[in-house]
Amino acid sequence: MCFLDTHIVVWLYQGDFSLLSKEAKQTIEKDDIFISPLVSLELQYLFTNTS
């Protein structure tokens, strides 16, 4: 199980894997990934304040 931080979720959404380490890429590929409710809230806040 892997919980992702907000900036990692944004990078993955943008398709920018270049900033991830080799270990991070391997973990994301092999484990189930999750985001916490707080990360979801932060993404909503960022989205509404940049639109």
What does the DSSP assignment read for 26-39? Answer: HHHHHS-EE--HHH
pLDDT band at 51 (very low <50, low <70, confident <90, very high): low
d(CA 47, CA 2): 24
Asked if 34 contacts 2 with a C-beta cutoff of 8 angstroms, the reply is: yes
42 has pLDDT over 80: yes
What integer best gives the mean pLDDT of the chain? 91
As a whole number, mean pLDDT of residues 19-43 equals 94
As a whole number, mean pLDDT of residues 13-31 equals 93
As a whole number, mean pLDDT of residues 9-30 equals 93
- Supply the pTM of this predicted model: 0.77
